[in-house]
Amino acid sequence: MSIIKPMVRSNICINAHPIGCAKDTQNQIDWVVAQKAKKGIKSAKEGNAKAPKTVLVLGCSTGYGLASRITAAFEYGADTIGVSFEKEASEKKAGTPGWYNNKAFDKAAVKAGLKSVSLNMDAYSDECRQAVIEEVKKFGAKFDLVVYSLASPVRTDPDTKVMYRSVLKPVGKSFGGHALDVMTGKLTFMEAQPAEGDDIANTVKVMGGEDWERWIKQLSEADVLADGCVTVAYSYIGPKYSHAVYRDGTIGAAKKDLEARAHTIDAQLKKIGGAAYVSVNKGLITRSSSVIPVIAEYLGCLFKVMKAKGTHEGCKEQIERLFTERLYTADGKVPVDEENRIRIDDWELDPAVQAEVDKIMPKITEENVAELIDLAGVRKDFLNINGFDVDGVDYEKDVTDMTAIE
């Protein structure tokens, strides 16, 4: 029996709270159910011909992937298959947050009368693709939406069996700035060294669009894509503060590859009346964004400005808006930019928002950081990822079984 407290080392939380993770997932579900009622969104069974019926989410367990699965299921009534690679819990040892999130999602989906299968597999493998194909055939259905939300440090090429590693590095020169300790508010100087050797090529191999393209090809060949099937992958552009390490760095090269391949996939899906999009999303606190120079500080500043303007969104708000105002519009048209990308980073990159951020960023010091940025909001988001500081959870209660989510 034990009381579980967050164990944070260098902006990385190394443990998870089972009940907190499950409650956070349920809180997201409850919010989406409320949006469905508020907006009058109907499922296919309720007569909405445009609603997705069978959805595959690759990288389904946290962040944007989890929010996508929740929105598809609980706002649009879709049956879902989710894939993520998690460390399973045992009675005495915690699993990864995503393991608990998937368990909570499956439980809620079954209760709502929805089909739900969560596969704990390496989504980069052909074995996983085969397992997904077999599961959707058991549903007696075909996918009309495929969400690609994978983020991983490694990928093994299914053909060559070579393992590639992705890195978050600038290109050409080092990139330095404040590293914000989200728990204490301390600021230290951090420098990221530039990419070298095969860093760029390897990161493109892991985080680019090659695997997404392979997924759509194999699903298509297995005849499990419905006519009109849409696929969407997630990307980030961000402000000038992050360009050196994101858009112009190794990960940016991978995201540019993802965007280029979207056009190839789109051409393939057009044959069945479908489409492929990259959705450029807003910057949020994630496991990786917490350990990159400047990023946590910028996000804290951004959150403060956007909350004051009433335009701040977390994962669930972003994805709910993606579905209702982009992918499934009343007229059936998907609004895109000149490169066929969906932009739900529009409120983040609003010139008025960025102008406010520009005014605040140079003034931030360790003495005024809690006043100038939304430090409390950043900390809460950071802890929520691992099931801590979640509304409605009694953290003084003993946890006797690390596999139990209630």
Res 316 pLDDT > 80: yes
**What is the pLDDT, as a whole number, of residue 137?**
98
Least confident span in 76-90, 125-139, 179-193: 179-193
Q: Annotated catalytic, 246? A: yes
pLDDT score recorded for residue 293: 83
- The single residue listed with the structure tokens 């989406």 is 32
Q: Could you tell me what percent of the chain has a pLDDT over 70?
A: 99
Pairing of strands 187-192, 175-180: antiparallel
Q: What is the mean pLDDT of residues 13-26?
A: 97
pLDDT of amino acid 141: 98
Going by pLDDT thresholds of 50, 70 and 90, the confidence category of residue 286 is: confident
| Dist. CA 52–CA 79, nearest whole Å | 9
Residue labelled with tokens 């990864």: 96
Closest of 152, 151, 133, 153 to residue 143, by C-alpha: 133
Residue 290 has a pLDDT of: 67
pLDDT, tens only, 233-249: 999 999 998 899 899 99
pLDDT tens digit sequence for 363-391: 999 999 999 999 999 999 999 999 999 99
What CA–CA distance (Å, rounded) separates 231 from 228? Answer: 10
Given a cut of 80, is residue 88 above it in pLDDT?
Answer: yes
Cα separation of 214 and 159, whole Å? 11
Q: How far apart are CA 293 and CA 282, in angstroms?
A: 18
For the segment 178-192, the average pLDDT, to the nearest whole number, is 92
Does residue 9 surpass a pLDDT of 60? yes
Q: Which helix (H) or strand (E) holds 356?
A: helix 351-360
Whether residue 222 has pLDDT greater than 90: yes
* Catalytic, out of 164, 246, 277, 328: 246
Model confidence over 130-161: pLDDT tens digits? 999 999 999 999 999 999 999 899 999 999 99
State the Cα–Cα distance between residues 164 and 200, nearest whole angstrom: 11
Cα separations in angstroms, 405 against 24, 336, 395: 11, 40, 13
pLDDT at 3 over 60: yes
Please state, for a pLDDT cut of 90, what percent of the chain lies above it. 92
The count of other CB atoms within 10 Å of the CB of residue 119 is 18
Write down the pLDDT at residue 102: 98
Query: Is residue 1 pLDDT above 60, yes or no?
Result: no
pLDDT at 121 over 90: yes
Residue 287 has pLDDT above 80, yes or no: no
Confidence of residue 2 (pLDDT cuts 50, 70, 90): confident
